[in-house]
């Protein structure tokens, strides 16, 4: 007849010690590294196994924390790269302004806000004789001029307005809230006056002017393309009358900047 554990205390104790080691290993498998297999005073093989398991737990914890940190670092890096790719996709690389895609999106969103009391307007800005700057001083100077022009445009915006560079020396401005066409034209003329102030580019002092077309959202101009095209047409109408002009779309008269 085989003796029971009750009849053999040593076997029962051994089984309990081995069960404790097995339970510790199971905890490690669940990534619970705060447990340790008990080590008794005997210093026998079971205690040696327990010590080995505890050492393995320490090593596993270090490896896991390192892997966890690497994953966190890689995730943060990917998030940064994703945000940078998104920023590059929606912003002009030279000036940092929104590009055509982002401007179209913002204007489309604004045009959907039908219940607002005040309407919005688009300014189409084109620098006069910008090619002469590139031809005379080089493209690096021209690029720096565009950067400073962008900064000056932004400095003239009101809260809620936004600007974009859509290519070359062409910029767009969304006036978020204007009460009338004369108010929009007045803002355009103030912006044009600010652009006539000299620009310091390196050792050079450069003077430029800009033609500005103004188009107010209305029942006739209720889509993004219609509004931008109207402002573009007004800009060309202003340019035909000389440098530094502002003009309203479908306005029968034109006027100089103040």
Residue 112, CB-side half-sphere exposure with 13 Å CA sphere: 6
Sequence-distant (≥ 6) Cβ neighbours of residue 155 within 8 angstroms:
194
At 116, give phi and psi (nearest 5°). Answer: -70, 140
The answer to whether residues 243 and 196 touch, using CB atoms and an 8 Å cutoff, is no
Q: How far apart are CA 85 and CA 71, in angstroms?
A: 21
- Edge-to-edge, what's the strand order for the sheet holding 170-178? 162-167, 170-178, 119-127, 210-216, 245-248, 255-256
The catalytic residue positions are: 169
DSSP structure string for 113-132: -TT-SSEEEEEEEEETTHHH
């Amino acid at each position: 007849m085989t003796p029971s554990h009750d009849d053999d205390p040593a076997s029962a104790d051994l089984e309990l010690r081995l069960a404790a080691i097995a339970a510790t290993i199971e905890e490690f498998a669940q990534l619970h590294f705060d447990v340790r297999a008990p080590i008794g005073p005997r210093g026998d093989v079971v205690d040696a196994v327990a010590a080995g398991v505890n050492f393995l737990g320490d090593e596993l914890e270090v490896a896991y924390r390192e892997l966890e940190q690497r994953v966190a670092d890689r995730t943060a890096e990917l998030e940064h790269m994703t945000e940078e790719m998104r920023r590059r996709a929606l912003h002009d690389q030279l000036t940092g302004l929104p590009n055509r895609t982002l401007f179209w999106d913002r204007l489309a969103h604004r045009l959907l806000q039908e219940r607002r009391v005040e309407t919005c307007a688009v300014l189409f800005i084109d620098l006069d004789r910008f090619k002469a700057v590139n031809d005379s001083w080089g493209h690096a100077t021209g690029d720096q001029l565009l950067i400073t022009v962008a900064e000056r445009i932004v400095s003239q915006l009101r809260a809620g307005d936004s600007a974009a560079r859509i290519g070359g020396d062409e910029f767009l401005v969304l006036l978020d809230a204007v009460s009338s066409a004369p108010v929009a034209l007045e803002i355009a003329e103030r912006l044009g006056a600010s652009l006539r102030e000299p620009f310091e580019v390196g050792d050079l002092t450069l003077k430029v002017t800009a033609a500005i077309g103004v188009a107010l959202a209305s029942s006739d101009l209720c889509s993004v393309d219609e509004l931008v095209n109207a402002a573009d047409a007004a800009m060309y109408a202003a340019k035909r009358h000389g440098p530094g002009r502002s003009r309203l779309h479908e306005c029968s008269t034109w006027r100089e900047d103040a």
